[in-house]
Amino acid sequence: MKKIAAGLALVLAMASVTAASALDRRVQINNVSSYDIYEFYASNTGTSAWEEDILGKDVLLAGSSVMINIDDGSGYCKYDFKAVFEDGDEVVSENNNVCELAEFDFTD
C-alpha cells in the first residue's frame, strides 16, 4: 500500500509540474504613455542581466499594444520588465507574474 501511495504522490507531483509549465505566459503590453517604446525586455526575476530586446526592430507606438509570449522555456512565472522610451528614459517593473497577468500598462 505504501508503494501505491508513493507512486500516486509522484504522479500528482509530475502533473502539477506539467500544469505549471502549461500556463499561458502571453501578456498584452499596453503603451498608454505619450512616448513610443523602442525597446522592451523581460527577464526572470533574480537574474542580473536583461535578455534580448523583444521588440527587435519594431517600435511600440504611444497608445498601441502588442501581445508577447514571455515563455523562455524555464517554467518560471516571475519576470522583470524594462521599457526604453524614444527619449531614452527607462522604466523597470519588477516581479511580474506572467502566469497570472493578462495585461501590463506602461504609463507616463
SS3 label, residue 53: coil
- Greater confidence (102 vs 4) lies with 102
Tell me what percent of the residues of the chain surpass a pLDDT of 70. Answer: 80
| Residue ranges of domains in the chain | 24-106
Strand partners, 28: 67, 103
- Protein fold of 24-106: Immunoglobulin-like (2.60.40)
Cα-only R_g, the chain = 18
From the list 91, 3, 102, the residue with the least C-alpha distance to 39 is: 91
Pairing of strands 65-69, 103-106: unpaired
SS3 label, residue 15: helix
Q: How would you list the strands of the sheet with 78-85, edge to edge?
A: 37-44, 78-85, 90-97
- Greater confidence (22 vs 33) lies with 33
Q: Confidence class of residue 22 from pLDDT cuts 50, 70 and 90?
A: low
pLDDT digits (tens, 9 = 90+) for 41-74: 999 998 889 989 999 999 999 999 999 999 888 8
